[in-house]
Amino acid sequence: MMSSEVFLNNLSQVRARITRACDACSRATEEVALLPVTKTWPAEAARIAFAAGFCSVGENRVMEALEKMEEVTEEGNWELIGHLQSNKAKFIPNNFSRVQSVDSEKLLRRLDAVAANANCPLRVLLQVNAGKDPSKFGVLPEETDGFLEAALSCSNLKVEGFMTIAPFAPEDPSVARSCFESLRQLRDRLVGSFEVELPELSMGMSGDMEEAIRAGSTLVRVGSALFGDRIQRNPSI
């Protein structure tokens, strides 16, 4: 079981990595937020994160997160960072503060509808498969103009930016770097084309946060570097 002491020690190391990465590219550490990812960990992990001062935690699966919300009494927000099936969109309003993984127009329309029915506008990030990895979700970069246009037409969704997951290539950091730089450049172009603010770039995880920060990430999603190796849960959840 994760303890507060272990978490705080890991947190110190992660913050040091973020600071070094920011220093290396002349960015202020305040420009990069840290989202603890509690997926597959018991509810206690979220309690520890909230007690440490975090306002939000990230979860991959809707039903797993809802179970934890029943157990956690500490005040805090829950962000969905994993693939969301349209038939589970109804659980999002009033439970999740933001969905980072909006990856299809079908899901856009469904989220817009459930947000309207709940009278609960939703904050979202659009997931782009910037590395064109066939194993990853997200729209392709060349599809993003039309996808953003559709998203901006959804009156109950607030589009705050983009999210991506780099291809897994730990032996070659340039793979992740290219993916992250591609998304930043795409975001910058779309801001000019659509004349909108899209400040959030959710890029980088435990293994590649340095490359993401160098490329302009504003939010790194960190699980294993904070909590340790994943605990296997029921795969049906």
User: Are the C-beta atoms of 50 and 71 separated by less than 8 Å?
Assistant: no
230 pLDDT exceeds 80?
no
* Whole-number pLDDT of residue 146: 98
The Cα–Cα gap between 95 and 99 comes to 11
Would 213 be classed as within a structural domain?
yes
The number of folded domains in the chain is 1
237 pLDDT exceeds 70?
no
232 pLDDT exceeds 80?
no
Measure Cα distances from 185 to 2, 55, 61, 180 in Å. 39, 29, 30, 9
- How many residues belong to the chain? 237
pLDDT tens-digit readout, 174-224:
999 999 999 999 999 999 999 999 999 999 999 999 999 999 999 999 999
Would 11 be classed as within a structural domain?
yes
Would 54 be classed as within a structural domain?
yes
Would 234 be classed as within a structural domain?
no
pLDDT tens-digit readout, 74-110:
999 999 999 999 999 999 999 999 999 999 999 999 9
Instruction: Kindly report whether the global pTM for this prediction surpasses the value 0.75.
Output: yes
User: For position 130, which CATH number holds?
Assistant: 3.20.20.10
* Whole-number pLDDT of residue 12: 98
Would 232 be classed as within a structural domain?
no
44 by DSSP, 3-state: which?
Answer: helix
* Whole-number pLDDT of residue 163: 98
pLDDT tens-digit readout, 116-174:
999 999 999 999 999 999 999 999 999 999 999 999 999 999 999 999 999 999 889 99
Q: Which domain does 24 fall in, by range? A: 4-227
Residue 167: how many other CB atoms lie within 10 Å: 18
Surface-to-core class of residue 111, CB atoms within 10 Å of its CB (0-12 exposed, 13-18 middle, 19+ buried)? buried
Would 237 be classed as within a structural domain?
no
Would 233 be classed as within a structural domain?
no
The Cα–Cα gap between 174 and 167 comes to 11
